Amino acid sequence: MPVFARSISPRRAGKEGPATLGGRVNCGGIAVRSGDIVIADSDGVAIVPAHELAATQMLIEQAMVADKKAENDFDLLLGRFEALLNASEIERLPPE
């Protein structure tokens, strides 16, 4: 399981009083509340507020459709390019 930290030695948690469960915390200066989604990988961290989950899901689905269309368009163009290369004979000049 990957661990993401700002340095090689995380600071020890301080005890300044009783803790609250389900409250707001700050992660890198961003407020994270109960129900928010936090996604992290080696490229960075994304935080989706709970009240924006449905809209974010719709945007992700639209982006996935657009990516698939771009991939299909690329495959089509690549196939046409390869067909052109195979159909034409390219004469090579002899070395000088």
Higher pLDDT, 71 or 26: 71
pLDDT of residue 54: 94
Question: CB–CB of 47/38 below 8 Å?
Answer: yes
| Percentage of residues in the chain having pLDDT higher than 70 | 74
In this predicted model, what pLDDT tens digit does every residue of 30-74 receive, in sequence order? Answer: 899 999 998 888 888 889 999 999 999 999 999 999 999 999 999
Given pLDDT bands bounded at 50, 70 and 90, which one contains residue 14?
A: low
pLDDT of residue 81: 87
Question: CB–CB of 75/83 below 8 Å?
Answer: no
Q: Virtual CA dihedral for 64, 39, 42, 21, nearest 10 degrees?
A: 180
pTM for the model stands at 0.55
